[in-house]
C-alpha cells in the first residue's frame, strides 16, 4: 500500500463536511452513497443497501455471496451526534498532526480506514476470507433500526471487528459497558393550587421522589450507574401538575446486575410514592455489556501478535460508552473494537483524529485479517 495522507484527507473531507446526525435522511443518503461508490469500484465486492426504517439506509458490503458464513464482519456507523449546521460551522480542519470536524474520529475515519484496508488488501488474504462490512445509520441513538439486521449478520460471523476509534493512548477496546435508557411517565391529577390543592395528585412530586430513589440505586463499586438526565412536567405554577416525564440513562459492566436493577425499577412502578399517581416505564434503548470471553481473549492475543510484528505495542481498555460491539459480543461472537485510527473528544467540538495513526492502524487491520486467513 502506498499511503498518501493528502489522498486520504481528500476522501475524508466530503464525509465530514455534510450534516449526518442520526435521522438526517438526506445526510445519511449522501454519506452512504459515497461510501457505496468507493466499494463498488473495488473488484470483487458487492454493495447492498439495507433499509433501516425511519433512520434511512445502511450498507452491507461483501466479497462473497450473501448466505455464506462470514470469517470477519467489520462494523461502523454512518451517523454522528451533531445537529444541522455543524458541518458549515466547523468543516474539516487540519492543525499539526490532528484533524478536526464533526465525526472525524467517531467515526468517519474508522469507515475510511476499513475502505483503505480493503482496497489494498493482499489478494491472497481476500481470496481466503469471507468478509462482510456493515455500516448502519443510527448507532448514536442506540441502533434501534439496525440492531436486528446487525445481529442477524453477526450470527453468521466467526469474528467481529468494530472500527470505532482507538483511544487517545492508542488502546483498543476489549470491553464496553452496557446501557439502557428509560422514559418514565408520571400521570397524576390536576387541581387548582389555591382552591383545592388536596384534590390534586402531583406528577412532579412523584417524579422528584423517583429522582432521589433512582439515585440511591447507583453502585459505583460495581460500575452500575443511573443518571436522571432529563425531566419535564407541569404547565403553570398554580395548578397541581398531572403529568411529568423523566429520561434515565443506565450503565453497567455486568448483565446480571442490570437484570436485577431493571426488575427493581419495574417493581417501583407498582408502588408510587404519591397515592393516586400512575407510573409507566418504557425502555427506549438497550445494549448489553460487552465482556470478553475465551474466544475474545484468543482474538486479542492474535491482535497483539500482529502489533508486535509491526512494532506497534497493543494495549486494551474497558470503556464506559457502548457501541455496536455490545450487540455482537452478547451473541457469543468474539468481538473487538477500537480498530479505527486514534482519536478523542468524541461528541464535542474538541473531537480530533490523530493523523499519524491512520496508516499504522490500516496496516494493523490488514495484518489481523492476514493472520485470520492462515
Ligand atoms: Zn461511534
Q: Is the pLDDT of residue 175 over 90?
A: yes
Q: Is the pLDDT at 321 greater than 90, yes or no?
A: no
Which three three-digit cell numbers place residue 251?
450503565
Element (H, E) at 75: strand 70-77
36 alpha carbon – ligand 1 mean position (Å)? 19
Give me ligand 1 centre to Cα 17, in Å: 17
* 90 CA distance to ligand 1 middle (Å): 19
Q: Give the mean model confidence (pLDDT) for residues 17-39.
A: 98
Q: What is the pLDDT of residue 289?
A: 95
Q: Say what the pLDDT of residue 163 is.
A: 98
Distance (Å) from CA 370 to ligand 1 centroid:
25
Ligand 1 centroid to Cα of residue 144, in Å, is 15
Quickly list H helices, the chain.
5-16, 25-40, 86-89, 109-119, 123-128, 147-155, 203-216, 255-268, 294-310, 324-329, 358-372
pLDDT digits (tens, 9 = 90+) for 197-246: 999 999 999 999 999 999 999 999 999 999 999 999 999 999 999 999 99
pLDDT(318) > 90:
yes
292 CA → ligand 1 middle, Å: 20
Is the model's pLDDT at 250 over the cut of 90? yes
Average pLDDT over residues 144-162: 97
Which residues are bridge partners to 280 per DSSP? 185
What residues have CB less than 8 Å from 266, skipping those under 6 apart?
281
- Residue 312 grid cell: 506497534
- Do residues 154 and 101 lie in contact, with contact meaning Cβ atoms separated by under 8 Å? no
The Å distance, Cα 155 to ligand 1 centre, comes to 22
Share of the chain above pLDDT 70, in %: 100
Average pLDDT, the chain: 97
* The residue to which cell 445537529 is assigned: 83
Strand segments, DSSP code E, in 127-234 are 131-136, 157-162, 172-176, 178-187, 191-192, 225-233
The C-alpha cell 453468521 sits at 156
What distance in Å separates the CA atoms of residue 280 and residue 299, rounded to the nearest whole number? 43
Mean pLDDT of 275-292: 95
Ligand 1 midpoint to CA 371 (Å)? 26
- Give me the residues paired with residue 75 across strands: 134, 162
Distance 249 CA to ligand 1 centre (A): 18
Pairing of strands 352-354, 343-344: antiparallel
CA 212–ligand 1 middle distance (angstroms): 31
Ligand 1 centroid – CA 326 distance (Å): 12
Average pLDDT over every residue of 340-365 = 98
Q: pLDDT tens digit string along 93-134?
A: 999 999 999 999 999 999 999 999 999 999 999 999 999 999
Interval between CA 54 and ligand 1 midpoint (Å): 19
Rounded Cα distance between 38 and 135, Å, is 13
Gap between the Cα atoms of 258 and 226, Å rounded: 11
What is the whole-number distance in angstroms between the Cα of residue 30 and the centre of ligand 1? 18
Give whole-number Cα distances, 106 to 100, 143, 164, 327, 337, in Å: 11, 15, 6, 18, 13
Å from CA of 78 to ligand 1 middle: 9
Alpha carbon distance 42, 310 (integer Å): 26
Ligand 1 centroid to 374 CA: how many Å? 30
Ligand 1 centre to CA of 162 (Å) is 10
- For residue 270, the CA-to-ligand 1 centroid distance in Å is 37
The neighbour count for residue 235, using CB atoms within 10 Å, is 10
Instruction: Provide the CA 78 distance to its chain's centre, in angstroms.
Output: 10
Q: Assign 340 a pLDDT band (cuts: 50, 70, 90).
A: very high
Instruction: Tell how far the Cα of 236 is from the centroid of ligand 1, in angstroms.
Output: 40
- Exposure string for 198-223, b = 16+ CB within 10 A, e = fewer: eebbbbbbbbbebeeebeeeeeeeeb
Nearest to 76 by CA among 23, 5, 138, 136: 136
Amino acid at each position: 500500500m502506498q499511503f498518501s495522507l493528502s489522498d486520504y484527507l481528500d476522501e475524508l473531507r466530503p464525509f465530514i463536511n455534510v450534516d449526518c446526525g442520526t435521522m438526517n435522511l438526506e445526510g445519511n443518503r449522501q454519506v452512504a452513497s459515497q461510501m457505496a461508490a468507493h466499494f463498488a469500484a473495488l473488484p470483487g465486492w458487492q454493495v447492498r443497501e439495507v433499509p433501516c426504517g425511519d433512520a434511512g439506509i445502511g450498507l452491507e458490503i461483501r466479497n462473497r455471496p450473501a448466505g455464506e458464513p462470514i470469517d470477519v464482519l467489520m462494523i461502523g456507523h454512518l451517523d454522528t451526534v451533531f445537529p444541522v449546521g455543524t458541518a458549515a460551522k466547523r468543516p474539516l480542519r487540519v492543525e499539526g498532526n490532528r484533524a478536526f470536524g464533526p465525526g472525524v474520529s467517531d467515526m468517519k475515519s474508522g469507515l475510511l480506514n476499513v475502505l483503505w484496508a480493503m482496497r489494498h488488501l493482499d489478494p491472497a488474504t481476500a481470496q481466503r476470507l469471507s468478509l462482510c462490512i456493515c455500516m448502519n445509520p443510527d448507532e448514536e441513538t442506540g441502533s434501534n433500526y439496525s440492531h436486528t439486521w446487525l445481529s442477524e449478520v453477526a450470527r453468521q460471523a466467526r469474528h467481529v471487528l468494530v472500527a470505532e476509534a482507538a483511544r487517545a493512548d492508542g488502546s483498543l477496546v476489549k470491553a464496553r459497558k452496557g446501557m439502557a435508557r428509560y422514559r418514565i411517565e408520571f400521570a397524576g391529577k390536576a387541581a387548582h393550587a389555591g382552591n383545592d390543592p388536596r384534590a390534586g395528585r402531583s406528577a412532579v412530586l412523584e417524579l422528584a421522589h423517583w429522582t432521589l430513589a433512582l439515585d440511591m440505586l447507583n453502585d459505583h463499586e460495581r460500575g452500575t450507574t443511573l443518571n436522571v438526565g432529563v425531566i419535564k412536567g407541569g404547565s403553570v405554577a398554580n395548578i397541581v401538575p398531572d403529568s411529568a416525564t423523566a429520561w434515565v440513562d443506565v450503565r453497567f459492566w455486568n448483565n446480571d446486575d442490570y437484570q436485577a436493577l431493571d426488575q427493581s425499577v419495574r417493581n417501583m412502578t407498582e408502588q408510587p410514592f404519591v397515592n393516586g399517581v400512575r407510573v409507566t416505564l418504557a425502555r427506549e434503548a438497550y445494549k448489553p455489556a460487552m465482556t470478553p470471553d475465551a474466544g475474545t481473549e484468543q482474538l486479542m492475543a492474535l491482535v497483539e501478535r500482529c502489533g508486535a510484528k509491526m512494532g506497534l505495542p497493543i494495549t486494551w481498555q474497558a470503556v464506559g460508552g457502548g457501541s455496536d460491539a455490545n450487540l455482537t459480543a452478547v451473541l457469543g461472537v468474539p468481538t473487538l473494537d477500537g480498530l479505527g485510527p486514534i482519536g478523542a473528544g468524541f461528541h464535542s467540538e474538541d473531537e480530533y483524529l490523530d493523523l499519524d495513526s491512520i496508516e499504522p492502524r490500516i496496516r494493523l487491520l490488514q495484518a489481523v485479517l492476514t493472520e485470520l486467513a492462515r
